[in-house]
């Protein structure tokens, strides 16, 4: 049975705790997995061969603020380790694959510009698979040419301050207007021609 996009959005809205206002990102991850695995029409419309390259906002919830994006990348790339600040993010693979690396911070964050991180977990998202990252979770993504995914975020990452890490130099910097999101948008803008 096809899981309709409208039902998906309603289920994501219902995944928020009415008292704390916090999202159950595991529930949202499961909803996105169901959407990708059952609604081929939705996947083809937003991430199929005829879908435009770029980052496209599909839905922004007026009550809870979560946003659903389609990301269609012409060229593969590897992001630096980064977080999404106060926001969570759920990544659903639609086409090709994305390798996800989770990082663990070892220092206490007390030294400005310094961060010691180590790899904690690596896995591959194949079509229909979905990964999740909570607020401040450090992660890195690598995808191949023409990778396409659906991402749900708890807030607008294109306007948030986030952190980008360099494990080789043990450094961290705050980047405005959504470091990871801007990097992804920039990668698309610079390669789409």
Check if the beta carbon of residue 173 is closer than 8 Å to that of residue 113.
yes
The structure tokens listed for 4 are: 């309709």
Check if the beta carbon of residue 43 is closer than 8 Å to that of residue 36.
yes
The structure tokens listed for 12 are: 């994501």
**How many angstroms separate the CA atoms of 31 and 11, rounded?**
7
**How many angstroms separate the CA atoms of 119 and 189, rounded?**
29
What are the residue ranges spanned by the domains of the chain?
5-191
Q: 5-191 falls under which CATH superfamily?
A: Jelly Rolls (2.60.120.10)
% of the chain residues with pLDDT over 70: 91
Check if the beta carbon of residue 31 is closer than 8 Å to that of residue 11.
yes
pLDDT of residue 160: 87
Is pLDDT at 156 greater than 60 in this prediction? yes
The structure tokens listed for 36 are: 């990708």
pLDDT of residue 159: 87
pLDDT digits (tens, 9 = 90+) for 115-143: 999 999 999 999 999 999 999 999 999 99
Is pLDDT at 189 greater than 70 in this prediction? no
- Whether pTM > 0.75 for this model: the answer is yes
Mean pLDDT in residue range 166-192 = 62
pLDDT digits (tens, 9 = 90+) for 37-60: 999 999 999 999 999 999 999 999
The structure tokens listed for 96 are: 């090709």
pLDDT of residue 165: 97
């Amino acid at each position: 049975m096809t899981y309709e996009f409208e039902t998906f959005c309603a289920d994501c809205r219902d995944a928020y705790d009415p008292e704390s206002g916090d999202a159950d990102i595991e529930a949202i991850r499961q909803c996105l997995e169901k959407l990708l695995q059952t609604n081929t029409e939705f996947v083809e419309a937003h991430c199929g061969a005829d879908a435009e390259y770029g980052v496209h906002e599909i839905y922004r919830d007026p009550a809870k603020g979560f946003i659903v994006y389609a990301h269609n990348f012409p060229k593969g790339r590897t992001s630096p380790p980064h977080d999404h600040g106060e926001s969570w993010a759920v990544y659903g693979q639609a086409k090709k694959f994305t390798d996800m690396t989770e990082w663990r911070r070892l220092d206490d964050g007390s030294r400005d510009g310094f961060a010691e991180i180590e790899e904690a977990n690596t896995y591959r998202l194949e079509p229909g698979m979905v990964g999740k990252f909570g607020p401040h979770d450090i992660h890195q993504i690598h995808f191949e040419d023409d990778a396409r995914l659906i991402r749900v975020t708890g807030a607008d990452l294109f306007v948030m301050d986030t952190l980008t890490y360099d494990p080789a130099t043990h450094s961290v910097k705050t980047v405005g207007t959504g470091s990871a999101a801007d990097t992804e948008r920039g990668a698309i803008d610079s390669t789409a021609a």
